[in-house]
Amino acid sequence: TQPPAASRVGITLETYILDGMMGFPEATGAFTSLLNQIGLAAKLITSKVRRAGLANILGYTGETNVQGEQVQKLDEVANETLLSSLGRRGHCAAVASEELEEPRVLSTDPRARYVVVTDPLDGSSNIDVNISIGTIFGILRKKEDRAGAEAADFLRPGRELLAAGYVLYGSSTMLVITTGVGGVHGFTYDPTVGEFFLSHENIRIPSGGGLYSINEGNSGRWTEEVRRWNAWVKEEDKGTGRPYACRYVGSLVADAHRTLLKGGLFAYPADRKNQRGKLRLLYEANPFAFVFEAAGGRATTGSERILDIEPTELHQRVPVVLGGTEEVTLFEEFMRGKR
């Protein structure tokens, strides 16, 4: 019998990608090159995020600095960094970004066969209080090999993603990525070397995490079903590990990453104020739904599988529930009034 595959922990992101260890659906050089461009952008952005307080790049309140210069907002810096990295090798035709009203075309060469969806710096209101923020990305194949890209290339269900993931600028910088078929893998950045090293191979969401993550401040606006679920998770019941502990940072990448590693459930349901939910389908919900399902979890709106939603608008919002299979299934039972 074959000896167990030696763990590949410690190899770099580039090696892992180039050696096709992620089970790509497209083992083309262009696809691996595109993934490495995302890795490069993550290095450049983390460098800027770590110096934001010093470099006088403020978070959501871009101001003028002592020289009277308009200080660029960090999320705009992140967006420009991603666009220039993705545009460098000519494999990405266009990018749909939370920062851009319309997609940015990067190449009209028909050989540029991919498009990227991204939230370059999600949670930017947390920058000025030094709370973790993140970059979210997804890669799609253009619907056909023609010059440039159209909205139709982006308005596709998330199940058509070729790869998706995120970068968390937390106590360390970690890039988590999956191609959907070869597992979910975490790479931690070593700034002394300037490389991402595999640190979490084949992440699987634990069951029974005993954690839930939701903005309780919205409870006055929730539906009766969400309120009943919220009361249930807080009841004393040793047999089912309740009450669950509440953990909520208010930064999607941080809250979702903790849920992925520790288990439990993250929810941003629709409410009276955000009647279609708050989070964006294309570049927030879909990439995380893709990661959670690849890690053995589930991702729904509370009633519908997120990856099956047919988008109609680039920036449309959607209710989001991410977590372990049992926790998400239980949440859905409450939404259907079965509990």
Residue 104 CB, shortest distance to ligand P6P, in Å, is: 21
State the burial class of residue 107 (Cβ atoms within 10 Å of its Cβ: 0-12, 13-18, 19+): buried
User: Residues 29, 53, 191, 250: which binds ligand P6P (CB under 6 A)?
Assistant: 250
What's the rounded Cα separation, in Å, for the pair 218 and 222?
A: 7
Site residues for ligand P6P, 102-131, by CB under 6 A, read 122-123, 125
Beta partners for 163?
A: 139
**Of 122 and 293, which has the nearer Cβ to ligand P6P?**
122
284 annotated as a binding-site residue: yes
- Sheet containing 163-169, strands listed edge to edge, beginning at the edge strand earlier in sequence: 104-105, 92-97, 114-122, 133-141, 163-169, 173-178, 184-190, 195-200
Beta partners for 164?
A: 138, 178
The one segment of 31-39, 101-109, 176-184, 250-258 that binds ligand P6P by CB under 6 A: 250-258
Site residues for ligand P6P, 276-335, by CB under 6 A, read 278
98 annotated as a binding-site residue: yes
33 annotated as a binding-site residue: no
Per-residue string for binding with ligand P6P, 179-218, x by CB under 6 A?
------------------------------------x---
Compute φ and ψ for 45, nearest 5 degrees.
Answer: -70, -40
β-pair type (92-97, 114-122): parallel
Q: Examine residue 251 and tell whether it contacts ligand P6P (CB under 6 A).
A: yes
**Of 98 and 153, which has the nearer Cβ to ligand P6P?**
98
Q: Examine residue 135 and tell whether it contacts ligand P6P (CB under 6 A).
A: no
**Of 255 and 332, which has the nearer Cβ to ligand P6P?**
255
For residues 304 and 328, the answer to whether their CB atoms sit within 8 Å is: no
State the burial class of residue 196 (Cβ atoms within 10 Å of its Cβ: 0-12, 13-18, 19+): buried
**29 DSSP assignment:** H
Burial 44-57 (b: 16+ CB within 10 A, else e): ebbebbeebeebeb
What's the rounded Cα separation, in Å, for the pair 269 and 321?
A: 7
215 annotated as a binding-site residue: yes
The one segment of 68-76, 197-205, 239-247, 251-259 that binds ligand P6P by CB under 6 A: 251-259
Number of residues that bind ligand P6P (CB under 6 A): 9
**Of 114 and 331, which has the nearer Cβ to ligand P6P?**
331
Residue 285 CB, shortest distance to ligand P6P, in Å, is: 11
| Binding site residues, ligand P6P, CB under 6 A | 122-123, 125, 215, 250-252, 255, 278
- Which residues does the annotation place in the binding site for substrate? 122-125, 215, 248, 278
